[in-house]
Amino acid sequence: MLPTEQTGSQQTEVPCGSCTECCKSGQGLYLHPGQGDDVASYQVQVGADDAGNPVYLLATTAEGACVYLGPSGCTIYERRPLLCRSFDCRKHYLILPRQDRDNLVRLGMSSRAVFNAGRARLKTLSSDEKQACKETREEFFS
C-alpha cells in the first residue's frame, strides 16, 4: 500500500483496541480535501506533488507522531480525516509483498509495528476480504 491509500467505506472496522501505531508510524498522514477533509480545520504540513500542486498532511511532532495523538489515543476522533477512518493495517499487510513492506520500513514511510498490527488481526478479515486483497496484490505487484 501507499501512504495515501484509502480502502473505501465497504471495509470492516479494524479492531484497533488500544493500538495507535499508524498514528506514529511516520507514514504520510495525507488529507483529501476533494473527498471531504476540511484542511483549514487541522494543523497541517504542506508539500507538493510531482506536478507542483500542494498536498496537505497532518502535522507531526519531532518524533513523527500525529500532533493529535494524545495519551489515550486520538484527541479528534469524531472529526479525524478520511485516511484515519479508512486505513486498514490488515489490508496494508496483505496487499504489499514482503519486499515492499521491508522497503517502506527502511525508508521510514511505515513501521514494522503497523505491519505487525495488521498481521496480528488477519483473522478478523473475512475470506472475501482476504481474497480481494490477494487479487489487488496480484494486479499491482505481479
Could you list the residues that contact ligand SF4 (CB under 6 A)? 14, 16, 19-23, 29, 58, 66, 68-69, 74, 76, 80, 84, 87, 89, 114, 117-118
> DSSP states of 51-63 as a string?
TS-EEEEE-B-TT
Q: Which residue, 12 or 138, has its beta carbon nearer to ligand SF4?
A: 12
- State the minimum distance, in angstroms, from the CB of residue 93 to ligand SF4: 9
Q: Which residue, 2 or 19, has its beta carbon nearer to ligand SF4?
A: 19
Grid cell 498481521 is found at: 119
Q: Which residue, 114 or 132, has its beta carbon nearer to ligand SF4?
A: 114
Grid cell 519531532 is found at: 62
- State the minimum distance, in angstroms, from the CB of residue 47 to ligand SF4: 16
CA dihedral 5, 98, 121, 114 (to 10 degrees): -60
- For 70, phi then psi, to 5°, come to -105, 180
- State the minimum distance, in angstroms, from the CB of residue 7 to ligand SF4: 11
- State the minimum distance, in angstroms, from the CB of residue 84 to ligand SF4: 3
Q: Which residue, 52 or 71, has its beta carbon nearer to ligand SF4?
A: 71
Q: Which residue, 20 or 96, has its beta carbon nearer to ligand SF4?
A: 20
| C-alpha–C-alpha distance, residues 21 and 39, integer Å | 23
Q: Which secondary-structure segment (H or E) carries 46? A: strand 44-48
- State the minimum distance, in angstroms, from the CB of residue 134 to ligand SF4: 19
The set of residues, in sequence order, having a beta carbon less than 8 Å from that of 29 and lying 6+ positions away, is 3, 23, 57, 58, 60, 66, 81, 83, 84
